[in-house]
């Protein structure tokens, strides 16, 4: 629960209580350098007109951003079947991995996107790739208890799980520890709110997901974006995330650094907080 003393303008922010199973750094970090292409941005923010235009003009469909994500990564992680299929049909490489060694197939399995998994299999994604911790797509299906995706991978020829693939430590640290708690924002939200509230007046419902790294001092150290917002909404929400201050997460009474999820929801005409399931 958010404290009553919070600025009411924080209504667009929702911290997910509970820990992130596995602690993977799977959100592509929002960057504003020239490594984030127009195609990546359009795929991330669901800008379909810009996506189609950029797809026609793109000289390197497999370009990677600072975290190793491609336009295909963004589309697949958002669960966008249409964008994913278009990129694959235009030659996007399904086997590019990010800075954590994670493949696009692993991301899709992690989030339970069965249709995306099927597409990646059809376009010859590497079924047995291991990330930097030794995890596999089949292992992720197992740890997520997703039997349907596990069966898909098995039918496509993925290797059976070995004993060492069932070590939970390769999927990241597990609870228990207390989640960080949003206290307030340190900066002015007026500019960002002006941007975000535009969505409420257009009769559209928009939703964004970010993962933030909360330090032992309660400040936000890093922001990664999963689902973006069009028309400048992504940058506005990320600005506010960096301005936020948290009560740090703790384990055995000691503050620790953890990743946690934030949802920004802009319902039609009336912004409000909407809970989202913890990762």
- Please check whether residue 230 is in contact with residue 243, taking contact to mean a CB–CB distance below 8 angstroms: no
What count of other Cβ atoms lies within 10 Å of the Cβ of residue 245? 15
Q: How far apart are CA 43 and CA 195, in angstroms?
A: 20
Q: How far apart are CA 7 and CA 195, in angstroms?
A: 17
Beta-carbon-side half-sphere exposure of residue 206 (alpha carbons within 13 Å):
28
DSSP of the chain: ---TTS-GGGGG-EEPPS--TT----SEEP--STTS-HHHHHHHTT-HHHHHHHHHH-S-TT---TTS--HHHHHHHTT-HHHHHHHHHTT--TT-B-TT--BHHHHHHHTT-HHHHHHHHHTT--TT---TTS--HHHHHHHTT-HHHHHHHHHHTPPPPPGGGG-GGGG-----SBPPEEEEESS--HHHHHHHHHHHHTT--EEEEEEEEE-TTSBEEEEEEEE--TTTHHHHHHHHHHTEEEEPEEETTEEE-EEEEEEEEE-SSS---------
Would you identify the CATH topology of the domain 34-171?
1.25.40
pLDDT interval class at 206 (50, 70, 90): low
pLDDT digits (tens, 9 = 90+) for 224-272: 787 777 777 777 778 888 888 888 888 788 888 887 877 766 654 444 4
Please determine whether the domains at 8-22+174-266 and 34-171 fall in the same fold group of CATH.
Answer: no
Q: How far apart are CA 10 and CA 210, in angstroms?
A: 15
Would you identify the CATH topology of the domain 8-22+174-266?
TolA/TonB C-terminal domain (3.30.2420)
What pLDDT does residue 185 have? 59
Spans of all domains in the chain? 8-22+174-266, 34-171
pLDDT digits (tens, 9 = 90+) for 119-168: 999 999 999 999 998 899 999 998 888 999 999 999 999 998 888 777 76
Per-residue pLDDT, averaged over 24-52, amounts to 69
Per-residue pLDDT, averaged over 213-234, amounts to 82
Q: How far apart are CA 209 and CA 216, in angstroms?
A: 23
What pLDDT does residue 114 have? 96
Cβ neighbourhood burial of 137 (10 Å; 0-12, 13-18, 19+): buried
Report yes or no on whether pTM surpasses 0.75: no
Residue 12 clears pLDDT 90, i.e. is over it: no
């Amino acid at each position: 629960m958010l404290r009553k003393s919070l600025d009411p303008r924080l209504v667009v922010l929702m911290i997910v209580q509970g820990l992130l199973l596995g602690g993977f750094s799977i959100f592509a970090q929002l960057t504003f350098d020239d490594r984030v292409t127009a195609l990546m941005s359009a795929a991330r923010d669901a800008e379909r007109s810009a996506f189609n235009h950029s797809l026609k003009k793109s000289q390197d469909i497999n370009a990677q951003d600072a975290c190793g994500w491609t336009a295909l990564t963004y589309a697949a992680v958002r669960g966008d079947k249409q964008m994913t299929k278009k990129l694959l049909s235009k030659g996007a490489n399904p086997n590019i991995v990010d800075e954590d060694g994670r493949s696009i197939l692993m991301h899709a399995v992690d989030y339970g996107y069965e249709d995306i998994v099927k597409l990646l299999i059809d376009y010859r994604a590497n079924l047995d790739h291991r990330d930097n911790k030794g995890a596999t797509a089949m292992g992720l299906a197992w740890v997520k208890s997703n039997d349907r995706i596990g069966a898909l991978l098995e039918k496509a020829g993925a290797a059976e799980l070995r004993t060492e693939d069932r070590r939970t430590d390769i999927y990241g640290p597990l609870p228990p520890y207390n989640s960080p708690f949003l206290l307030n924002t340190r900066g002015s939200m007026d500019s960002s709110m002006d941007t975000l509230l535009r969505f409420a007046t257009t009769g559209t419902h928009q939703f964004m997901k970010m993962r933030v790294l909360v330090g032992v001092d309660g400040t936000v150290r890093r922001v990664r974006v999963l689902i973006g917002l069009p028309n400048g909404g992504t940058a506005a929400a990320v600005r506010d995330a960096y301005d936020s201050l948290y009560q740090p997460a703790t384990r055995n009474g000691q503050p620790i650094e953890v990743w946690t999820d934030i949802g920004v929801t802009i319902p039609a005409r009336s912004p409000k907080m909407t809970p989202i399931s913890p990762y």
